[in-house]
Structure 1
Amino acid sequence: MGNKYVVIDLETTGNAPKKGDKIIQFAAVVIENGKITEEYSSFVNPGKAIPPFIEELTGLNDQMVENAPDFSEIAPKVLTLLEGAYFVAHNVLFDLSFLQEELIETGYNGFYGPILDTVEMSRVLMPTADSFQLSELAIREGLNHERPHQADSDAYVTAELLLRLLERLEQLPLNTVKQLHKLSSGLKSDLDLLIDNIIVKKESSIETIPDILEIHHGIALKKGMDQTENSKMQQINYPVGNEEKEELFRKAFSAFETRLGQFDMMDSVYDAFNQERHAMIEAGTGVGKSLAYLIPSAIYAKENNRTIIISTYTTQLQEQLLSNDIPRLAKMLSFPIKAVLLKGRSHYISLAKFEQTLKDQDDNYDTILTKMQILVWLTETIYGDIDELNLSSGGMLYWNKIKNDETVFLKNKSWLSRDFYMRARKEALQSDIIITNHSLLLTDLVTDHKILPEYTHVVIDEGHHFMKVSGKHFGFTFDYLSTRLLLSQIGLIEQKQLLHKLEQILEKEWINKHELLHSFEVNQMMAELSLEADELFKVISYYAKKRKKASKGYNRISCRLTVDDANMEWRAVEISAERFIFFVKDFVEMVHARLDFIKTVQESLSAREKSSMEELTSLVEELKDLSFVVKNIFLHPSEQFVSWIEMDERAMQNATTVYAQPVTVENYLKEQFFEKKKCAIITSATLSVKNSFNYMLTELGLTASDCSVQQIQSPFNYKEQVKLIIPDDLPEVNAVPLEEYVASITEHIISIAEVTKGRMLILFTSHEMLRKTYELIKESGFLNDYAIIAQGISSGSRSRLTRNFQKFDKAILLGTSSFWEGVDIPGEDLTCLIIVRLPFSPPDEPLTDAKCDQIKQSGGNPFSDYSLPEAIIRFKQGFGRLIRTKNDRGLIFIFDRRLVTTKYGKAFLQSIPEVPVEKSGINEIIPLIKEWI
């Protein structure tokens, strides 16, 4: 750390210095010998007005800079600071380009010394960070960032971040540092110079590698946890009698808050396991269902020497179970318990493939950065799971080359003992509890290569998602972008991709030509296959445009695909699909013939050639799968399936996707899952409709005779904690144009926000309505001092938007689909929930349309048998966002008056906990809110 670093941050009037944007604040923090030695900051008079959006972002206004010096006055100080130093910034090219422009304009030489970018460094040295934004990294590292978007505060936090990054770099083993150095010349900044210094320093002393690391084939890895902490615990006999078990349950909970509902659920899960029958348990918010199924699962697994599978829908819940609930379980129980998380094979890295690709020379920037991220990550990870990493989209493309799958050419046994996937499977075979996801659970039913060990007992948490995942799983998807990507990775010979590498090997080995097609014929086949793929998507998009009914807003078309030989557009799709399948078949056979020949001489191939042929083999298998999908969607569609096209009208075929799914999954699940398992516990906070489980039982293919049902009420006092308000001065949602409805609800949102001081989550059912409401709130100017965060408009994932919402005192969060569930904002961070519209699926959505048709044909009522119960379950999910602990209090506003003006509205209220309901106009609501607060 002996170098001098000057960390710079600028606030500017815009982002284009060449177009006359100017600096309005300059800040620098100097680091020497690993310590901050100097700070300097100054406002700068830009000689022009500060735009309103910059004022809003930074809090800097014209008055603050009118008496500030011109840049020319501070330029000598800036150059003195930078002398002999690394120029460092968070997104360095932005700050450097501005500074260069200003320095040159005022007659000075620019800065031409070494540069470092803390974004780039963070990506490499903190590869598992959720986000590389400065404010997010500050939270992650526990750095105090008081005034984001003000140069002095940003520069100081960036300097503290740089010190952390330098420390991390120095702590890496020499092997890793040398590998990073080889790659670092391809970066945007001069990290290679810095790494060079570290190598010299490390080589001048004797390095001791920490006990937790090992070097294998030149790559530093964290040692595997072959023996978990739990397995070192002394074995204790399990209780046998019921009284002893009850005593164990009580003892286990003695250190934790007692929840009677939790005990009920534990008993029910344990009884269902023993009686070998299915059970559906709805556990209200706050019951603590995770521990209520984990404890009986652990005891039953130990007593019967069985493995219990726990399946969830979200990664978030898997991580919570593994990092929170399982350690709590270990503390509670008086015997050792082993639990592992198991995912699909492609989630894990193949170290053999990674080692091979490290030798490639012709990498692009994204690949270089991703390789560096992975080298650092391998010194930290014990699972080797891609979900831990934060990769760019280019990084994800590279991951596809190094993911774990079956290998033909790369039989590198030297990595077998360190293989993350094999280790995860081995641990799973020795585990009492395996945590996985719904998708893998379903994949394992039908695949020849089973990942999960044999099991008979399973807990399905977030069970209300199981049928939707099943629909996708038993269905097919065919989309333009992934098809195009697949074909481009194989490439034409002149594009120097995998087909080129295949032909090079054949040339080198001088393989008997009369047995194989000539290279130009091979190239011709690839060119024709690409053309056929494009043609197929063109006719699909033409079909969709001719038959478009439902527009999803944002130029989105969604239309059902129906077999109709009399229809000209359908015949064109059918003929094009036949041609595509024919070309795929010929191409795959040709490549296989060549690969089979290469296998006979594979001993003479270099490791890099083997790696390329491995990748080609994998892509050809994907191409075969694609052909199977096209056949099932277009040529042999099942009568039990519904197929539909979704596309963006602005693009000819770039955003076209075709889906095919079973209209109902009940028979699939009944025959392939529930009849094959002895006991499945389906649990969630939202399984019943008007206190009945009939809807969910039917959808999953279960009956009351083979599945017991139970409702466990939330321990929260909803009557005291919640007030539900229905404004009666809003128009009926379907009775007025969208613009008029948005204008009315926006007025109410503003009025409510001003009284509640924000802390508000607003749930929409359509992105179009969300966007229009957001724009109108912004235009009104009434809530300028509130942070308005909107899904799809504010950048970031759901969890990042939620974190940003929690950061501000006065904030409003607008969300659609994914925000109706899984968002956990306890305490005063959220005190007001608005549900804009009852969450019915649009009737013209293809899957909804097909389900309703099927119900009609079998003599049922589509609305009461499907649309209403589905909307109620979604509504219950939304309702559950507000009260997350026994101390929370809050208000829920339902803007959709159908809740009180229709007969079915009562069903929604009967499906949630009993709460006081108020109906009144906004003028009466305001004093009511004040009184409640």
Structure 2
Amino acid sequence: MDDTAPPAASRLALAAREALEDGGLLAANIEAFAPRKAQQDLAAAVAEAFQSRGTLIAEAGTGTGKTFAYLVPALLSGMKTIVSTGTRALQDQLYHRDLPRVRDALGVGLKTALLKGRANYLCHHRMQLAKGEPRFHSREMAAQFQRIVAWAGRTRMGDLAEVEGLGEESPLVPMVTSTTDNCLGSDCPFFSECFVVQARQRAQSADLVVVNHHLLLADLALKQEGFGEILPGAQAFVVDEAHQLPDLASQFFGEALSARPLVELARDAIAECKEVPSALATLQEPARELEQATRALRSAMDDLPVRGTRQRAAELEAAEAAQDALAHALATMQAALEPLESAAPGFEACLFRARDYSARLRRWRDPAPTAEAEDPSPPPADPDDRAPPTLPGDVDSVRWYELSARGFRLSRTPLDVSAPLAEHRERSRAAWVFTSATLAIGGRFEHYARKLGLEAPRTLLAPSPFDWPRQALCYLPRGLPEPASRDYGAALLDAVRPVLEASGGRAFLLFASHRALREVAALLRAAEAPWPLFVQGEAPRGLLLERFRASGNGVLLGAASFREGVDVAGEALSVVVIDKLPFGAPDDPVFEARLEAIRRAGGNPFRDEQLPQAVIALKQGAGRLIRSEGDRGVLVLCDPRLLGKSYGRVFLDSLPPLPQSRDIDDVQAFFGGECKPPVPTPTGEDLF
């Protein structure tokens, strides 16, 4: 045996580095690949975590190339790996574009699979039920349904993303897909053709599976309840866009009851009568009562704020009476379905849903456990894919509601998910890698590690390779009033307009609230701004971005949803303006409950939760500016608290090393083509 050979934990790291170096396999086989030291460091750290079955938290600055950095060691290791991304769009990009390029460049023959949640796959049974139903609101909707039927006869994967023009929010999607509630499992007449089953089988036999966070977390929540796992057992997990995980985990370890599933239960019960026509007389009135009770509850909540606590909702007598009526309607539906349970598998599934929804409503209204509330079963038809576990009272959870234009959602959300997440990681005995461009607060990871229950993880801060002094400038305007001032919007526009004139538009204006967004949009229009304006809420997000890119000089006004997942490289985007430090909304019941829990535990809510959350949100917004080595742009941070409050330094220290200025002349010179040296951070008397 060669005693000079590197230890096993180092060999994979060395191979990963070599593959990503100048002259390595990726440079030799991928056109325009550029070696980056930060990428090599990240790949080596991922490899070490894989080999040691350890845990790594890694922040990879924009431009690091983190996707290649974790795919290379994952593919070279030969370990069974789950890669989870933040959205389905990123999932498709990773699987269809990035993964094949890296796999081919490395010359490895590992088997890969793409696995999405069941709402992405066509359900033959649901499609058959929808045929002939008078549920199409327009000719266009009916024509699109016929296109889905035609596509269903030729698709191999059943992924609805293949259907051109079918958006995720289309009302057709729930009509042709199954849910955990309405799936018939092995009792389905189309079980042998089920696209969900086939996708899971492919994942079971693959070496590397690409999923999204929703599916990953659904699996973790189900394992906690003791059902079988959706995802195959893996030796390593890579969680990309990992900053999203704590908040998403709170949803999946909680439970909710919303309007749409209630209405769908009523309609599905009637649709199942096709198989047993005599059942229609029994179910028609209970179904009508359930639909009416659901709509009546939404109407009764009109006088409530858009979101609030269970206690706030209880103050409205009309809402309490409407909940009584909904509980009665669910009980009536349950009683009508019980004699029909054995008549058809669909009725059995509907009965389970009626019992489950009744129990959820009871638990939302009164968390005290009862035997009936805790056991609404028979067991579900598909025990591998059930709802998350019920919560033990209200000690560690918050009950709250949220209203939409025509619906509602009644939720119970745990305040701390670190324990169940830590338990699952421990049980998996796998390597875990958490990576994102926005995880660290002032270069430290304690806040994120605490959220996920990580004890002494290895950490890595892989800096962005961009030339910040040449590519970017951070402008902090002088003279702005306090953000709470009534005239803040007008003052902000006065400060920002010279920047937009210097850049010729080409800007994102990101706001902490929709109210501020609408105010500045109105001011810009009243002033007859010379740039095309694209305002969130006036068109779908994707269409706004498409029009913005095509305009060449547009100004897009957006709120929180535009802080991340938006990639506009090149000259189309040269300015990002952030109006205020993005502290959590005061009307968010979950956020407020977390702050109160920290206070009760003797912590400092501002230091421990509000400040870290705001820093991450600011980093996400700032990250829209520079997306490639060729980009140049100005980040405008308007909030005077950045320099007037001691905590402002935490925000500035968490940003990339942008040169900073308070002088509009520097902005004008930047867009005039002059590359200025870094400007020292203002201090002392220079602050104002």
Q: Does residue 641 of the first structure (1) align with residue 397 of the second (2)?
A: yes
Could you tell me which of 254, 263, 266 is aligned with 2:40?
263
Could you tell me which of 447, 463, 481 is aligned with 1:713?
463
Match of 1:345 in 2: 118
Unpaired runs of at least 5, structure 2? 1-9, 368-392, 676-688
Could you tell me which of 412, 421, 426 is aligned with 1:669?
421
SS of 2:555's equivalent?
strand
Kept after mapping to 2: 8 A contact 1:352/1:412: yes
Name the CA distance, whole Å, in 2 between partners of 1:891 and 1:391: 37
Q: Match for 1:561: what amino acid?
A: R
Match of 1:905 in 2: 648
Match of 1:694 in 2: 446
Kept after mapping to 1: 8 A contact 2:290/2:326: yes
Name the CA distance, whole Å, in 2 between partners of 1:533 and 1:363: 18
Q: Match for 2:478: what amino acid?
A: D
Q: Match for 2:451: what amino acid?
A: E
Kept after mapping to 2: 8 A contact 1:577/1:631: no
Query: Deviation of residue 825 (structure 1)?
Result: 1.1
Could you tell me which of 297, 309, 315 is aligned with 1:569?
315
Kept after mapping to 2: 8 A contact 1:642/1:850: yes
Name the CA distance, whole Å, in 1 between partners of 2:159 and 2:297: 36
Name the CA distance, whole Å, in 1 between partners of 2:71 and 2:580: 37
Name the CA distance, whole Å, in 1 between partners of 2:396 and 2:92: 36
Query: Deviation of residue 560 (structure 1)?
Result: 1.9
Name the CA distance, whole Å, in 1 between partners of 2:89 and 2:49: 27
Q: Does residue 470 of the first structure (1) align with residue 215 of the second (2)?
A: no
Q: Deviations over 1:180-234 (max 9, x none)?
A: xxxxxxxxxxxxxxxxxxxxxxxxxxxxxxxxxxxxxxxxxxxxxxxxxxxxxxx
Query: Deviation of residue 631 (structure 1)?
Result: 2.3
Name the CA distance, whole Å, in 2 between partners of 1:884 and 1:928: 18
Name the CA distance, whole Å, in 2 between partners of 1:657 and 1:387: 27
Kept after mapping to 2: 8 A contact 1:689/1:869: yes
Name the CA distance, whole Å, in 2 between partners of 1:926 and 1:254: 39
SS of 2:315's equivalent?
helix
Name the CA distance, whole Å, in 1 between partners of 2:516 and 2:15: 57
Query: Deviation of residue 683 (structure 1)?
Result: 0.4
Kept after mapping to 1: 8 A contact 2:415/2:590: yes
Query: Deviation of residue 480 (structure 1)?
Result: 3.4
Could you tell me which of 125, 140, 143 is aligned with 1:369?
143
Match of 2:55 in 1: 278
Match of 2:176 in 1: 399
SS of 2:107's equivalent?
coil
Q: Does residue 560 of the first structure (1) align with residue 560 of the second (2)?
A: no
SS of 1:279's equivalent?
strand
Q: Match for 1:346: what amino acid?
A: A
Kept after mapping to 2: 8 A contact 1:645/1:659: yes
Q: Does residue 746 of the first structure (1) align with residue 493 of the second (2)?
A: yes
Q: Deviations over 1:556-588 (max 9, x none)?
A: 53322239xxx9737886786567446534532
Name the CA distance, whole Å, in 1 between partners of 2:435 and 2:206: 22
SS of 2:172's equivalent?
helix
Name the CA distance, whole Å, in 2 between partners of 1:275 and 1:405: 40
Kept after mapping to 2: 8 A contact 1:285/1:884: yes
- Go from structure 1 to structure 2 and tell me whether the alpha carbon gap of 1:746 and 1:900 turns closer, same or farther (over 3 Å shift): same
Query: Deviation of residue 867 (structure 1)?
Result: 0.5
Match of 1:860 in 2: 603
Kept after mapping to 2: 8 A contact 1:310/1:435: yes
Q: Match for 1:805: what amino acid?
A: F
Match of 2:629 in 1: 886
Kept after mapping to 2: 8 A contact 1:674/1:680: no
SS of 2:561's equivalent?
helix
Name the CA distance, whole Å, in 2 between partners of 1:340 and 1:568: 48
Query: Deviation of residue 351 (structure 1)?
Result: 3.6
Match of 2:377 in 1: none
Could you tell me which of 520, 534, 537 is aligned with 1:792?
537
- Go from structure 1 to structure 2 and tell me whether the alpha carbon gap of 1:395 and 1:813 turns closer, same or farther (over 3 Å shift): same
Name the CA distance, whole Å, in 2 between partners of 1:617 and 1:588: 10
Query: Deviation of residue 523 (structure 1)?
Result: 5.1
SS of 1:337's equivalent?
coil
Number of positions where the alignment pairs a residue of Structure 1 with one of Structure 2:
625
SS of 1:254's equivalent?
helix
Could you tell me which of 157, 160, 166 is aligned with 1:386?
160
Q: Match for 1:671: what amino acid?
A: E
Match of 2:588 in 1: 845
Q: Deviations over 1:50-99 (max 9, x none)?
A: xxxxxxxxxxxxxxxxxxxxxxxxxxxxxxxxxxxxxxxxxxxxxxxxxx
- Go from structure 1 to structure 2 and tell me whether the alpha carbon gap of 1:394 and 1:318 turns closer, same or farther (over 3 Å shift): closer
Kept after mapping to 1: 8 A contact 2:578/2:637: yes
SS of 1:825's equivalent?
coil
- Go from structure 1 to structure 2 and tell me whether the alpha carbon gap of 1:867 and 1:805 turns closer, same or farther (over 3 Å shift): same
Match of 2:472 in 1: 722
Identity %: 28
- Go from structure 1 to structure 2 and tell me whether the alpha carbon gap of 1:481 and 1:871 turns closer, same or farther (over 3 Å shift): same
Match of 2:639 in 1: 896
Q: Which structure is larger by alpha-carbon Rg, 1 or 2? A: 1
Name the CA distance, whole Å, in 2 between partners of 1:478 and 1:671: 27
Q: Does residue 288 of the first structure (1) align with residue 19 of the second (2)?
A: no
SS of 1:683's equivalent?
strand
Q: Deviations over 1:344-402 (max 9, x none)?
A: 233211345546765x4867435631332224434774421123333373423532479
SS of 2:470's equivalent?
helix
Could you tell me which of 232, 238, 252 is aligned with 1:459?
238
SS of 1:761's equivalent?
strand
Name the CA distance, whole Å, in 1 between partners of 2:458 and 2:179: 46
SS of 2:403's equivalent?
strand
Could you tell me which of 592, 602, 619 is aligned with 2:338?
592
Kept after mapping to 1: 8 A contact 2:124/2:190: no
The normalised TM-score by structure 2 is 0.83
Kept after mapping to 2: 8 A contact 1:370/1:398: no
Name the CA distance, whole Å, in 2 between partners of 1:240 and 1:742: 57
Kept after mapping to 1: 8 A contact 2:121/2:177: no
- Go from structure 1 to structure 2 and tell me whether the alpha carbon gap of 1:829 and 1:782 turns closer, same or farther (over 3 Å shift): closer
Kept after mapping to 2: 8 A contact 1:750/1:777: no
SS of 2:635's equivalent?
strand
Name the CA distance, whole Å, in 1 between partners of 2:596 and 2:133: 57
Name the CA distance, whole Å, in 2 between partners of 1:885 and 1:746: 28
Kept after mapping to 2: 8 A contact 1:281/1:682: yes
Kept after mapping to 2: 8 A contact 1:532/1:576: yes
Match of 1:330 in 2: 103
SS of 1:859's equivalent?
coil
Kept after mapping to 2: 8 A contact 1:252/1:332: yes
Name the CA distance, whole Å, in 2 between partners of 1:906 and 1:630: 46
Name the CA distance, whole Å, in 1 between partners of 2:259 and 2:199: 34
Query: Deviation of residue 407 (structure 1)?
Result: 4.5
Match of 1:316 in 2: 89
Kept after mapping to 2: 8 A contact 1:349/1:385: yes
Q: Deviations over 1:441-487 (max 9, x none)?
A: 11112432532112232000000000011011122233335434533
SS of 1:253's equivalent?
helix
Name the CA distance, whole Å, in 2 between partners of 1:837 and 1:753: 18
Q: Deviations over 1:587-614 (max 9, x none)?
A: 3243132131x25xxxxxxxxxxxxx73
Query: Deviation of residue 870 (structure 1)?
Result: 0.5
Name the CA distance, whole Å, in 2 between partners of 1:703 and 1:672: 14
Match of 2:679 in 1: none
Query: Deviation of residue 830 (structure 1)?
Result: 1.3
- Residue range with higher mean Cα deviation, 381-390 or 838-847: 381-390
Kept after mapping to 2: 8 A contact 1:345/1:405: no
